[in-house]
Amino acid sequence: LSQPNIDVNLYNKHRTTALMEAISNEHIEVVNLLLLVPDIDVNLKDNEGWTALIYASNGGYIEVVKLLLLVPGIDVNLSDLDDWTALMWGSSEGHVGVVELLLLVPGIDVNLYTSSHRTALMYASRYGHIEVVKLLLLVPGIDVNLQDTDGKTALTLGSSYIEIVKMIEQKIEQ
């Protein structure tokens, strides 16, 4: 990395960068080193539209998410080819720590939705991630009544989980 003219933003034949590979393989030391390179672009996307932050959020790599969020210019609302954001991936996987960190970022949009019109709250509800649902419901401006392409809301998607139903109903009554 100390060599002149080294380009850390180059893609390999799989269209991933060194940073994406380091995150995927949980090499935190390498991630740390790469993030020290002044011209690293953390917003680059792979063939699926995944960014470094999406890789880290999907994997539940809290320490990597913390490091990435310190990089000036990181865009937390970037989405992949199916319109999934880092928040949606973290929420759908039930990664509470990742979701907590992402929700602290000014400008994060909790009401963004995927190509099927599902939000982070809908995914957390659908998969029964109670703690993530609690966190998301605390966000001012979250819209619990958004509907997906099938007309389902976070409430209907989480209807198998009584605690989720109670929390969403309580939010609706506010």
In tens, the pLDDT along 106-147 reads 999 999 999 999 999 999 999 999 999 999 999 999 999 999
Residues 6+ apart with CB under 8 A from 33: 1
73, two tokens:
């210019």
Q: Scanning the structure block, which residue is given the tokens 């790469």?
A: 34
Q: Give Cα 12 to chain centroid, integer Å.
A: 24
Q: CA–CA separation, 107 vs 28, rounded Å?
A: 26
pLDDT averaged over the chain? 96
Residue-wise over 125-137: b if at least 16 C-beta within 10 A, else e?
A: bbbebbebbebbb
Q: Which residues pair with 79 in a beta bridge?
A: 85
Q: CA–CA separation, 145 vs 113, rounded Å?
A: 13
pLDDT at 1 over 90: no
Residue range 62-81, pLDDT digits in tens: 999 999 999 999 999 999 99
Q: CA–CA separation, 153 vs 123, rounded Å?
A: 10
